[in-house]
Amino acid sequence: MSEQGNAATTAPYLDEVIAIAVEAGNRILEHRKNFHMREKGDHGADTSPVTDADLASNQYITAQLPLLDRHLPIISEETKSADYETRKHWRRFWVVDPLDGTKEFVKGIDEFTVNIALVDELEPVLGVIYLPAKNLLYYAEKGRGSWKRDGDKPAVQIFSSIPDLSKGLTVVESASHPSEELENYLKDLPVRQRISAGSSLKFCLVAEGRADIYPRMGPTMEWDVAAGDCIYRNSGRTGQRRTSLTYNKPSLKNGSFVIGFM
C-alpha cells in the first residue's frame, strides 16, 4: 500500500478506491458537453434527474469494486438496492453515489462529485470524494485522519474547527435545496456568514475548517452522506468528531441532521 502525500494509508483499498473515483470522474467529464437526461422516481421522494454521466460512472464503479473484494455488497444510488431482509445481515459494504450533484452537473456548475465509502459495523471507515471538474480530492480513513489533494499538489491533512458561538458561525448550506425549515433553524444562531455549495462538498468544507456547521433540514439518502460523513468524522485534531448519521437502516433515507457541533 502506497502513501497519498504524507498520509499513512493502512485501510484496505484506499489507494485503489481513490483511483476508481478519479477514473469514474474522468468518465463523467466525457459526457459533460453532450448528455441525455431523464427524470427518475427518487426512492419514494420527488423525481430527480439522471444523466448518461451518472450511469457511466456507476457502471465503472460497480464493476471495479468487486475486484477488490467480491464478497462486499454495494449500495448505490443508480443500482436497485437489496431489500432490508437481505441487507440487515450486512456488516461491511460499499456505499456509492456515482455522481452526487447531478443538478449542478446539468447546470454546468463544477460542484459535482464522485462519492465512495466503506461502511463497517454501521460506521463509515473509509471515504473518498472526488470533484472531477476541479481535480480536487478529499479522503479519510478511520484513525488516520482526513486529507485533501488539490490537483498535482501533495496531499495535506485537514482539520475541522470546534464552533465558537461568540465569534459567530460560518454556515454551509445546499445550493439546490433552500428551505423554510433551515431559515427557522438558523434564526436563533449567531450566523456570521453563509456559504452555498453543491453535492457532498458541504461536508468537506466543514472538515477542512472553512465552515463551522452544515445543517440539512430536508431528506437525503445514505449514499449522499456516507463518504462526507467519514471525512468529517476523521477531521478532529484530538480524536473523532461525531454525527447523528446512521447506516443500513430499513429505509436508506436520512432525516434532518447538523454536521459540525459534535
Q: Looking at residue 177, what is its pLDDT? A: 75
Domain containing 65 — which CATH number?
A: 3.30.540.10
Statement to judge: residues 169 and 153 lie in one domain: no
As a whole number of angstroms, the distance between CA 229 and CA 222 comes to: 10
Q: Of 158, 178, 208, which closes a domain?
A: 158
**How many independent structural domains does the chain possess?**
2
Q: Of 158, 187, 213, which closes a domain?
A: 158
- Whether 35 contacts 29, CB under 8 Å: no
Statement to judge: residues 54 and 136 lie in one domain: yes
- Whether 154 contacts 5, CB under 8 Å: yes
Statement to judge: residues 115 and 235 lie in one domain: no
Q: Looking at residue 41, what is its pLDDT? A: 59
| 153-182 pLDDT, tens digit each | 999 999 999 999 999 999 999 987 778 999
As a whole number of angstroms, the distance between CA 258 and CA 262 comes to: 9
- For residue 126, being part of any structural domain is answered with yes
Q: Looking at residue 47, what is its pLDDT? A: 64
Q: Quick one: DSSP state of residue 237?
A: S
Statement to judge: residues 254 and 138 lie in one domain: no
As a whole number of angstroms, the distance between CA 26 and CA 7 comes to: 24
3-class DSSP assignment, residue 213: strand
Phi, psi of 120 (to 5 degrees): -130, 125
- For residue 119, being part of any structural domain is answered with yes
Q: Quick one: which H or E segment has residue 152?
A: none
Residue type, 187: K
As a whole number of angstroms, the distance between CA 186 and CA 195 comes to: 13
- Whether 230 contacts 125, CB under 8 Å: yes
- For residue 210, being part of any structural domain is answered with yes
Domain that holds residue 172: 165-259
Statement to judge: residues 142 and 176 lie in one domain: no
Q: Looking at residue 46, what is its pLDDT? A: 54
As a whole number of angstroms, the distance between CA 118 and CA 125 comes to: 6
Statement to judge: residues 146 and 25 lie in one domain: yes
Q: Looking at residue 5, what is its pLDDT? A: 40
Q: Looking at residue 4, what is its pLDDT? A: 40
Statement to judge: residues 76 and 26 lie in one domain: yes
- For residue 1, being part of any structural domain is answered with no
- For residue 4, being part of any structural domain is answered with no
Q: Looking at residue 175, what is its pLDDT? A: 81
Statement to judge: residues 61 and 146 lie in one domain: yes
- For residue 254, being part of any structural domain is answered with yes
Domain containing 176 — which CATH number?
A: 3.40.190.80
Statement to judge: residues 123 and 174 lie in one domain: no
Identify which of 142, 238, 158, 248 has the alpha carbon closest to the alpha carbon of residue 203: 158
Statement to judge: residues 146 and 178 lie in one domain: no
Statement to judge: residues 47 and 83 lie in one domain: yes
3-class DSSP assignment, residue 4: strand
Q: Quick one: DSSP state of residue 70?
A: T
As a whole number of angstroms, the distance between CA 135 and CA 184 comes to: 36
Statement to judge: residues 143 and 176 lie in one domain: no
- For residue 204, being part of any structural domain is answered with yes
As a whole number of angstroms, the distance between CA 52 and CA 28 comes to: 8
- Whether 96 contacts 127, CB under 8 Å: no
Q: Of 110, 138, 158, which closes a domain?
A: 158
Burial class (CB in 10 A: 0-12, 13-18, 19+), 187: exposed
Low-confidence ranges of the chain (pLDDT < 50): 1-10, 43-45
